[in-house]
Amino acid sequence: MLDIYIKGFIVTFSLIVAIGAQNAYILKLGLLKQYVGIAVTLCVLFDSILISAGVFGLGFFVKGNQVLINSIAIIGILFLCFYAFLSFKSALKNESIKIDDQIKTNPLGKVLSMLLVFTFLNPHTYLDTVLLIGGIGANLSDDLKLYFLIGAISASSVWFISLGYGARLLIPLFKKPITWKVLDIFIGLIMLLIAYTLIDLIVY
């Protein structure tokens, strides 16, 4: 049982640590100390739901529905390009973002909506959680799937907690305006790169 748990943990951790839209946003919230607990909890919850769906068979449905994949990919490309534009626009500003957990620069509603979009309108989320992680778990016998799922959820929890709260160690560096500019440019480039990779998912 322990080996199945470890397998679920390692597979999941190896996939979610890659820099992506969701991770970049959690990093920024962590630096700003803005709703980190809520954001981390939601990310783990979303991962748990999607991985569970994959382990128990939804991955086969999503994989075979090209119309659904095309729709998600197109919407994802448009959103990622728009968010990249906002990141570049932010980088052009001459002011630094004040790091203060008492001043909420992002309304909670905006944070929640951004997390929903980065999760459910990003096809790579489904590829990682439902198809890849879930697909591996789906091939296990029914009595072992739960252990794999617990391992996967544990990995998600460890990663997002570390990312969200560990970002505070970088706060001294991000008190300099130039650092925020570099981060915004980096995030913008990452969004464009992810958008570009989504083009391959579209089948005409």
pLDDT band for position 20 (cuts 50, 70, 90): confident
Q: What secondary structure does DSSP assign to 99-152, as a single string?
A: --TTS-SS-HHHHHHHHHHHHHT-HHHHIIIIIIIHHHHHTS-HHHHHHHHHHH
| Tens of pLDDT, residues 107-145 | 888 899 989 988 887 777 877 788 778 877 877 888 888
Confidence at residue 149, expressed as pLDDT on a 0 to 100 scale: 93
How far apart (Å, rounded) are the C-alpha atoms in residues 77 and 4?
Answer: 36
Across 53-81, b (16+ Cβ under 10 Å) vs e yields bbbeebbeebbeeeeebeebbbbbbebbe
pLDDT band for position 100 (cuts 50, 70, 90): low
Return mean pLDDT, the chain: 82
CA triple 18-150-131, angle to 5 deg: 50
Tokens 């973002």 belong to which residue? 97
How far apart (Å, rounded) are the C-alpha atoms in residues 188 and 89?
Answer: 9
| Tens of pLDDT, residues 33-46 | 889 999 999 999 99
pTM of the model: 0.75
